[in-house]
């Protein structure tokens, strides 16, 4: 009887399939394609449509990264991000591409969205704010045309990611954030990553930072419904500003503004979507 019992147990062991767990697929959020628009009286810039990402057999995002990804996995995800989302869409400034590949974007996102850090869409960072889509960060940075030593002002520090990218291109970066908790968190992250030379302030970015003006470049990462006049006059001669302008909750236009004396030349790059610029009285 023992012999037959042993035979039956062995048969059950070798006939039962092993159980393997499969990671649940994360939904990839698509973002609307940027389309060029023009407003009356403005001179439109030549339009540039984003190129579609090349088809690959492997997912081009960090969604497949393990719960505790290694530095190599993050580097590989960052390199894929630059290759497919940024260079593949027409950003050509090698310094900007190098900055996007260097700055660890995953350090600037919330822990619950860590596996989406290098995906092709914005991510929430709390308090109704977001960290912008990687392509938009690279595009707006390239539009500024920064040279080493240029003084640049960012309106809307958020997580600190855009400021870190700028700090890879110049050592004179000033950034303003109106939400105290975000300003404090960004400061801690920037310091922890060695960007302690970025100068930050908590306040209403609509008024700029006159104490340190003029600026060779100004970048606004939230959308006002009109172009703030104080920012225009804090631009240096020959300086450039990149700013989304439009109604809250809808699509805006991304403007490139350059200063020549008391004249300002505007170019409408196309349609984008940003969170509204928060004001002190709101």
In a domain, 261, yes or no: yes
132 is catalytic: yes
In a domain, 76, yes or no: yes
pLDDT at residue 16 above 50? no
257-262: long-range contacts, CB 8 A cutoff, minimum separation 24:
257/227, 257/232, 259/232, 259/235, 261/237
Bridge partners (DSSP) listed for residue 174: 153, 199
In a domain, 30, yes or no: no
Range of the domain at 118: 61-272
Omega before 214 cis (within 30°)? yes
In a domain, 94, yes or no: yes
* pLDDT tens column, 123-167: 999 999 999 999 999 999 999 999 999 999 999 999 999 999 999
* pLDDT tens column, 163-221: 999 999 999 999 999 999 999 999 999 999 999 999 999 999 999 999 999 999 999 99
Find the CATH number of the domain harbouring 90: 3.40.50.150
What is the rounded CA–CA span in Å between residue 213 and residue 234? 5
State the catalytic residue, choosing from 61, 62, 132, 159: 132
Number of domains forming the structure of the chain: 1
pLDDT at residue 266 above 70? yes
In a domain, 92, yes or no: yes
Per-residue confidence at 250, pLDDT binned at 50, 70, 90? confident
φ, ψ at 263 (rounded to 5°): -105, 145
pLDDT at site 68: 59
Averaged pLDDT of the chain: 81
145-150: long-range contacts, CB 8 A cutoff, minimum separation 24:
145/217, 145/240, 146/95, 146/170, 146/216, 146/217, 147/216, 150/216, 150/217
In a domain, 79, yes or no: yes
In a domain, 44, yes or no: no
């Amino acid at each position: 009887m023992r012999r037959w019992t042993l035979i039956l147990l062995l048969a059950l062991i070798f006939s039962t399939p092993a159980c393997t767990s499969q990671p649940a697929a994360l939904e990839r959020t698509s973002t609307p394609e940027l389309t060029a628009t023009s407003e009356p009286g403005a001179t439109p810039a030549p339009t540039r449509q984003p190129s579609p990402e090349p088809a690959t057999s492997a997912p081009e995002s960090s969604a497949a990264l393990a719960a505790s990804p290694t530095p190599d996995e993050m580097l590989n995800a960052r390199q894929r991000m630059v290759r497919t989302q940024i260079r593949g869409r027409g950003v050509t400034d090698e310094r900007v591409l190098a900055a996007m590949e260097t700055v660890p974007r995953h350090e600037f996102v919330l822990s619950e969205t860590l596996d989406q850090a290098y995906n092709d869409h914005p991510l929430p960072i709390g308090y109704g704010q977001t960290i912008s889509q990687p392509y938009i960060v690279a595009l707006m940075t390239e539009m500024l045309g920064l040279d080493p030593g240029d003084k640049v002002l960012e309106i809307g520090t958020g997580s600190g990611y855009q400021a870190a990218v700028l700090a890879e291109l110049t050592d004179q970066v000033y950034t303003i954030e109106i939400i105290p908790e975000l300003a404090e968190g960004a400061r801690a992250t920037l310091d922890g990553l060695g960007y302690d030379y970025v100068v930050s302030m908590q306040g209403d970015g609509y008024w700029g930072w006159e104490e340190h003006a003029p600026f060779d470049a100004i970048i606004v990462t939230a959308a006002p419904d009109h172009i703030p006049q104080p920012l225009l006059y804090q631009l240096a001669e020959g300086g450039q500003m990149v700013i989304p302008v439009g109604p809250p909750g809808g699509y805006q236009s991304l403007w490139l503004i350059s200063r020549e004396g008391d004249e300002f030349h505007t170019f409408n790059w196309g349609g984008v979507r940003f969170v509204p610029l928060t004001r002190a009285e709101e």
